[in-house]
Structure 1
Amino acid sequence: MNASAGIVLAGGRSSRMGTAKAALEWHGSTLLRHVTGVVGRAVEGPVIVVRAHGQELPELDPRVVLCDDVEEGRGPMEGLAVGLAAAAEHSETAFVCSTDLPFLHAAFVRAVLRGFEPDAKTPDAERPEVVLPFVHGYRQPMAAGYRTDLAPQITKLLDADRRRPAHLFEECNVRQLDDAELLSDPRLASVDPNLDSVINVNEPDEYREARSRPAPEIVVERYGVLATSGGGRGPRKVRAATIASAAEQVGLAFDGHIVAALNGDQIRGDGMVPLMPGDTVSFISADAGG
């Protein structure tokens, strides 16, 4: 049970945004579908979405596990407790984030989770229970790694009306990662040098500014009978936020007759899988057997 899980807190209706962030449009998808897809690309275990009672969510990958808050009105710590308890059945650690991180990159998720890796210099009693990014001068508890066995401890804090992540950090071993430590990961430094992964959208203007940015630049390759479709052979750089959009950019329809190999991993049938800077998508005709 060493694989890490992913937990995304769906949140509710935002008074400042005027609507639920989870359903905000994001390059033909929704913000929640995008963020869960990014997290899903970074973890081996399941992706768990924690929502409020009765909260309607946009369409998600059917493999996503849905959980409801046990009690209402207790903030993100309630979702954290519920999500970690569910994830504990599958993994010892989990990456936990909010739904309002449009530029979250899988490389950031992996860099955070690597903070749990054993260090020969650190006694077992001091091993981190939380890996907490400290980015742009702020703690990022909603883009952090947590041991899943913290769930009972968080529930006790909630029952004692101690509802802030800081209350948890006072009681457990926290490994804090600053900008320099995170960017010592060459992959993360290459694809997210400004650590935009932690940028969230709380106001309508912030959402509009984020949405106005172009889709990620990715590389598309076509093989076999597809190699002459959409403008000739060879790799081509396009801007696309999903696999289906990348196919469309090169004149293809991702309609079940094509296999998409994403950075070498085969993904079939789901055109809404999110793309990120640094990705290469290779399209092969499924009808021809590759």
Structure 2
Amino acid sequence: MAAFAGVVLAGGRSSRMGTPKAALEWHGSTLLRRTVGILARATAGPVVVVRAAGQELPALPPRTVVVADPREGKGPVQGIAAGLAALAGQAEAAFISSTDMPFLHPAFVRRVLRVVQGDGADVCLPVARGYPQPLAAAYRTSLAATAERLVKEDRLRPAFLFDECVVQRLDEAALKTDPVLAALDPELDSVLNVNEPADYRAARARPAPEVTVQLFGAVARAAAGPGQAKGPQAVRAATVQEAADGVGLVFDRHVTAALNGDQITRDGTTPLATGDTVFFLSADAGG
């Protein structure tokens, strides 16, 4: 059983946005694809997407688990219950996120999850940018039955769930005692969401994360023409594909990417975050 997993509440059509947030474009991918990818990277466990009944979702990685919210209009506690129940026997705890936090950083996810692993809490609830963040929080999967009971009792606010378990709150100072998080997400943009069209436009206008790209083996040799950089290169990229584009590399079936030296991917929509290093190398034997 994995220690940690992820749950993303996909939501449905937003009256404010005029379209499902999950399908909003994000650097050639979608907001939902990005959030799922960040949680997969940060937890190394399964990721569950909870969708509204009948909701169509954009393309997702093959191992993503999709479950339907069994009751319409019951709010986030229903989604929390469904997501945690889907992870029964698969993980001890899950980071639960809404789909509309485009700057969620893996370092933030790891910082929050460590609390439920090491401090005996049932929930780690960040309090950042002036508000508690129940949809950027960690929950023990054993809370599924409690959350389901609260839904049946029509007690639908996360505060009711928190009343029935051990909650550790982390304010901004506590969150940033993690030096990695403090360095890579000092403003805690991880919890910024996009509720209005103007929020989305402002978020989309921001520069992509700054990452480092390094080429190895046959890929490096092929790029070693006149004027080509030989060492690490800093680029702005929100996905592996954008990182490849940033150094003029054709990211095709002959090329593999390794994120920070360990997580291997050949999916160009894999999301990147500030501080990542992307190693590109030949996917062919002997590369």
TM-score (norm: length of structure 2): 0.96
Aligned letter for 2:130?
G
Aligned-CA RMSD value: 1.2
- CA displacement, residues 71-97 of structure 1 (integer Å, 9 cap, x when unaligned): 111111111100000112201110000
**Superposition deviation, residue 266 in structure 1:** 4.3
Aligned letter for 1:186?
P
CA distance, structure 2, for counterparts of residue 166 and residue 266 of structure 1: 36
Q: What is the number of residues matched between the two proteins?
A: 283
- CA displacement, residues 51-75 of structure 1 (integer Å, 9 cap, x when unaligned): 0110000001011000001111111
1:104 aligns with 2:104: yes
Structure 1: stretches of 5+ with no match in the other structure: 120-126
Q: Where does residue 42 of structure 2 map in the other structure?
A: 42
1:211 to 204, 229, 247: 204
CA contact (8 A) 2:125 2:168 kept: yes
**Superposition deviation, residue 232 in structure 1:** 2.7
CA distance, structure 2, for counterparts of residue 180 and residue 45 of structure 1: 28
CA distance, structure 2, for counterparts of residue 137 and residue 252 of structure 1: 42
Q: How do 1:247-286 residues align onto structure 2 when only pairs under 5 Å count?
A: 247-286=244-283
C-alpha spacing 1:106/1:266, structure 2 compared with 1 (3 Å) = closer
Aligned letter for 1:146?
Y
**Superposition deviation, residue 181 in structure 1:** 0.7
**Superposition deviation, residue 137 in structure 1:** 1.8
CA distance, structure 1, for counterparts of residue 217 and residue 229 of structure 2: 12
**Superposition deviation, residue 45 in structure 1:** 1.4
The more displaced of 252-261 and 31-40 is: 252-261
CA distance, structure 1, for counterparts of residue 229 and residue 6 of structure 2: 39
1:150 to 140, 143, 155: 143
Aligned letter for 2:126?
P
CA distance, structure 2, for counterparts of residue 12 and residue 194 of structure 1: 29
SS in 1 for 2:173: helix
CA contact (8 A) 1:6 1:40 kept: yes
- CA displacement, residues 1-51 of structure 1 (integer Å, 9 cap, x when unaligned): 351110000000011111100000001110000110001100021000000
Q: Where does residue 181 of structure 1 map in the other structure?
A: 174
CA contact (8 A) 2:2 2:45 kept: no
SS in 2 for 1:283: strand
CA distance, structure 1, for counterparts of residue 134 and residue 99 of structure 2: 13
2:231 to 230, 234, 237: 234
C-alpha spacing 1:256/1:266, structure 2 compared with 1 (3 Å) = farther
Structure 2: stretches of 5+ with no match in the other structure: none
1:22 aligns with 2:22: yes
CA contact (8 A) 1:256 1:268 kept: no
Q: How do 1:32-71 residues align onto structure 2 when only pairs under 5 Å count?
A: 32-71=32-71
**Superposition deviation, residue 226 in structure 1:** 2.2
SS in 2 for 1:35: helix
SS in 1 for 2:48: strand
The runs of at least 4 aligned residues of structure 1 exceeding 6 Å deviation read none
CA distance, structure 2, for counterparts of residue 286 and residue 149 of structure 1: 41
**Superposition deviation, residue 244 in structure 1:** 1.3
CA contact (8 A) 1:48 1:64 kept: yes
- CA displacement, residues 236-271 of structure 1 (integer Å, 9 cap, x when unaligned): 111111111111111111111012111011423211
TM-score (norm: length of structure 1): 0.95
CA distance, structure 2, for counterparts of residue 171 and residue 182 of structure 1: 24
Aligned letter for 1:218?
V
Q: Where does residue 124 of structure 1 map in the other structure?
A: none
